[in-house]
Amino acid sequence: MSNRRMLALSLSGVLALAACSSGGGAATSAPSSAAPSESAAASESASAGGATDCTVAVSWNNYQQPRWAKNDQPNIKKTVEDGGGTYIEADANLSNEQQLTDINNLVGQGAKVLILLGQDTKAVLPGVQAAKDAGAKVIAYDRLIEDPDIFYITFDNVGVGKAEADAVLKKVPEGNYVLIKGDPGDPNASTFLPQGWDEAGLKAAVDGGKIKLLNGPDGTFTDAWKTEKAQQNMEAIIDKAVADGNKIDAILAENDSTALGVAAALTSKSYGYPPLSGQDGDEANLQNVAAGIQYVDVWKNANELGKVAGAAALELCKGTEPASMTLPDGLVDPSVAPAAGASPQDFTTPGGITVKSYILQPTPITQENLNLVVDSGWITKEKLCEKASTGPTPAAFCA
C-alpha cells in the first residue's frame, strides 16, 4: 500500500473523531498563494521541468493574523522557490479539524516537508504522525509540538518573555500588575513566556511583596490570542479593579494581538495607559509604542524566521540529517541569527523530548530605539509615526 494511501486512511479515522467531538462551525480552508489544484499543477510542472522534486507545504493555523501574510509567508515562499522548490499552503482558520484535513491534502499533493504552525499543539499530533507515516518531514514553526521527530524553528520565547517583563519591571518595579496570556493550548502562552517573566524577576517581586497580581498568579488566558477576547477580559479586570479600589500600575500582555485588546479596553474605559508589553512587532503595536500607548514591543523579525524555515525545509528535502545542517552564510541578519550559530542545537521540550532546533533572537523596542525597526526596513518612519501625535506621550523620534 502506498504512503499516500496510508496517510488518507490514517487521517480518515482522526477526522471522523474530530467531526464527532468538534464544537466549532464549518471548517474553512486556506489562504493560498495557489488553490490546491493549482499548487498540484505547479508541483507537476516543476518536476516535469526537472527543476526539483522538493515540494514544501505550510499549514497555517490562522493566516488572518497580520504577521503571517506580511512577513513569514513571503520569506518562506521566496527562500523555497529561490532554492528550486515548490511552495504550497493551506489555512485552518482556527479549526483543529480543518488543520488535520489540510495536512492530509498538503501531503497528498506531494509535500516532502510540512511546515506546521499548530492551532492546538496536542490536537494536531495525529496529523503529525500521519504525515510522518507518509514520509514527510515536519517542522514545528513558531509553536512547539511535542514529538521526537519534529524540527523546531522559533524565536527564543523564554527570551521574549524575559525582555517583556524586564522592560516593564524596570519602569514599574512595584505596584499592581495584570497578566494577560495567550491561548492556553499554545506552550508559548502557558510555559515559555511566563518562564521568561519569572527569569526577569516577576516571581521574586511577587514573593517579596513588591508586586500584587490583580488577576491572580496564573493571569487570564485569551482563547486563540484574539484581540476582541483580550479586550473583553481586560474590561472586566478594569471594572473589578475600580470596584475594589485598586489602581492598575502595569500590564504584561504576551503578544501584540492581546496587547491591542488591552489598549482598546483601556481606551474604552478612559483608564489611561499603564506600561504595557507585547511581542511580534505588528504595525499597529509599533504605532502604539510611538504614541505612548504600549510601552514595549518585543520585535521578532519574522522575515528572518521565514528564511530559516525555508532553508531548513530545502535541506530536509535533500535528505540532510538535522545534525549535519548549516544555515547559508548571510541568510540571516546577525542581530537575529541563532546565538548558538549556524548549526541546529538540541532543545529539550517541557515533556522531556530532545529535538533539533534553530532559535532566533528577539529585540525589545521602546520609544528609545524605534529607529531599529525603521533602519531595518520593517516599517517606514511615516507609517510608524502616523498616529504618534494623537497619543498620550508621542515619541521624540516622531517629532
| b/e code 256-286 from CB counts within 10 Å (16+ = b) | bbbbbbbbbbbeeeebebbbbbbbbbbbbbb
Confidence bin at 21 (pLDDT 50/70/90)? very low
Residue 197 and residue 157 in contact, taking contact as beta carbons nearer than 8 Å: no
pLDDT of 33 strictly over 50: no
**One-letter amino acid identity for 359?**
I
Contacts of 50 (CB under 8 A, 6+ apart): none
> How confident is the model at residue 53, as a pLDDT?
85
> How confident is the model at residue 266, as a pLDDT?
98
Looking at 206-306, which runs of residues are DSSP E strands? Answer: 211-213, 250-253, 297-299
Confidence bin at 256 (pLDDT 50/70/90)? very high
> How confident is the model at residue 38, as a pLDDT?
38
Strands 113-116 and 297-299: unpaired
Residue 99's nearest CA partner among 28, 151, 6, 5 is 28
On average, the pLDDT of the chain sits at: 89
Distances (CA, A) of 243 to 49, 237, 247: 69, 10, 10
Q: CATH 3.40.50.2300 region(s) of the chain?
A: 3-156+302-361, 157-299+365-398
At residue 368's C-alpha, the angle toward residues 366 and 372, to 5°, is: 80
The CATH number that domain 157-299+365-398 falls under is 3.40.50.2300
Class of the CATH-defined domain 3-156+302-361? alpha beta
Contacts of 108 (CB under 8 A, 6+ apart): 4, 7, 8
pTM: 0.80
Contacts of 13 (CB under 8 A, 6+ apart): none
> How confident is the model at residue 36, as a pLDDT?
37
Residue 292's nearest CA partner among 191, 394, 202, 399 is 394
Overall average pLDDT of the 246-253 stretch: 98
Report d(CA 130, CA 119) in Å as an integer. Answer: 17
Cell of 178: 495584570
> How confident is the model at residue 39, as a pLDDT?
39
Report d(CA 128, CA 134) in Å as an integer. Answer: 10
Overall average pLDDT of the 5-14 stretch: 45
Least confident of 48-52, 130-134, 364-368: 48-52
Residue 158 and residue 164 in contact, taking contact as beta carbons nearer than 8 Å: no
Residue 80's nearest CA partner among 326, 321, 307 is 307
> How confident is the model at residue 78, as a pLDDT?
97
